[in-house]
Homo-oligomer: A and B are copies of this chain.
Amino acid sequence: MPDGAVKTEKKPVKKPVKKKDKYRQRQTEVIDAAAAVFAKKGYHGASTGDIAALLGIAQSSLYYYFKSKDEALEKVCLHGIKGYVERLQAIVAGDGSAEDKIRGAIHNHIEPVIFIPDYFRTFVGELRYLPENRRQKLNNMIAEYNALFEQILVDGIAEKTFTGSLDSHSTMLMLIAQCNTVPFWFGQFEQYSPAQLADMLADNFLQGALWRPN
Question: Which of A's residues lie within 8 Å of B, judged by CB?
Answer: 41-45, 99, 102, 125, 129, 153, 156, 160-166, 170-171, 173-175, 177-178, 180-181, 184-185, 188-189, 200-201, 203-213
Residues of B near A164 (CB, < 8 A) are 209-211
A-B contact pairs, 15 of them (CB 8 A): A42-B42, A43-B45, A44-B45, A163-B212, A163-B213, A164-B209, A165-B203, A175-B209, A178-B181, A181-B181, A204-B204, A204-B205, A205-B210, A206-B212, A207-B211
Residues of B near A213 (CB, < 8 A) are 160, 163
Q: Specify the chain B residue showing the minimal Cβ separation from A126.
A: B42
Task: Establish whether residues B162 and A210, one from each chain, have CB atoms under 8 Å apart when the complex forms.
Answer: yes
Instruction: Give bound CA distance, A162 to B210, whole Å.
Output: 6
* Given known A177-B184, A181-B178, A204-B174, contact A129–B42 (CB-CB < 8 A): yes
Task: Establish whether residues A210 and B163, one from each chain, have CB atoms under 8 Å apart when the complex forms.
Answer: yes
Residues of B near A209 (CB, < 8 A) are 164-166, 171, 174-175, 205
* Given known A42-B42, A177-B185, A178-B178, contact A210–B204 (CB-CB < 8 A): no
Instruction: Give bound CA distance, A201 to B206, whole Å.
Output: 13
Residues of B near A99 (CB, < 8 A) are 212
Residues of B near A201 (CB, < 8 A) are 174
Task: Establish whether residues A207 and B204, one from each chain, have CB atoms under 8 Å apart when the complex forms.
Answer: no
Top 5 A-B pairs, shortest CB-CB distance = A44-B44, A44-B45, A208-B208, A177-B181, A162-B210
Q: Specify the chain B residue showing the minimal Cβ separation from A46.
A: B44
Instruction: Give bound CA distance, A115 to B45, whole Å.
Output: 28
Instruction: Give bound CA distance, A213 to B181, whole Å.
Output: 29
Instruction: Give bound CA distance, A212 to B98, whole Å.
Output: 11
Q: Other CB < 8 Å A-B pairs besides A42-B44, A162-B211, A177-B181, 15 of them?
A: A102-B210, A125-B125, A163-B212, A164-B210, A165-B200, A165-B209, A173-B185, A173-B188, A174-B185, A174-B209, A177-B178, A177-B184, A180-B181, A206-B210, A208-B208
